[in-house]
Amino acid sequence: MRQKHMKSKLLPLNLEPSTGEIVRRTSLWLIICLLIIPLLLGCSLQYGIAETASISMATDKTKYVRGEMIKLVVTNRLDIPIWYIGYPQPDLVFWTIERAKDNGWHSVGFRLPLIEADKEVCRIAMYERPIGVVTDLKSHSVLLYRWNQKICPVKRVSEPFEPETIGHGRYRFVLSYSLKTMKSENIKAEPWKRPIELGETRVAYSNEFVLE
For residue 138, pLDDT over 90 is answered with: yes
What's the CA gap between 93 and 76, in Å, rounded? 18
**Single-letter code of the amino acid located at 183:** K
What's the CA gap between 86 and 133, in Å, rounded? 5
Q: What are phi and psi of 104, to 5 degrees?
A: -160, 180
User: What integer is the mean pLDDT of 92-112?
Assistant: 95
Q: Which of 11-25, 30-44, 77-91, 132-146 has the lowest mean pLDDT?
A: 30-44
What's the CA gap between 185 and 196, in Å, rounded? 9
Beta strands in the chain (DSSP E): 55-59, 63-64, 70-76, 82-86, 96-101, 104-107, 110-111, 114-116, 119-121, 133-137, 141-147, 150-153, 164-165, 169-178, 181-183, 196-198, 201-205, 209-211
pLDDT for 26: 57
CATH 2.60.40 fits 55-211, yes or no: yes
Task: Find the DSSP H helices in the chain.
Answer: 2-9, 19-52
Confidence of residue 37 (pLDDT cuts 50, 70, 90): very low
Confidence of residue 27 (pLDDT cuts 50, 70, 90): low
Q: Where are the domains of the chain?
A: 18-52, 55-211
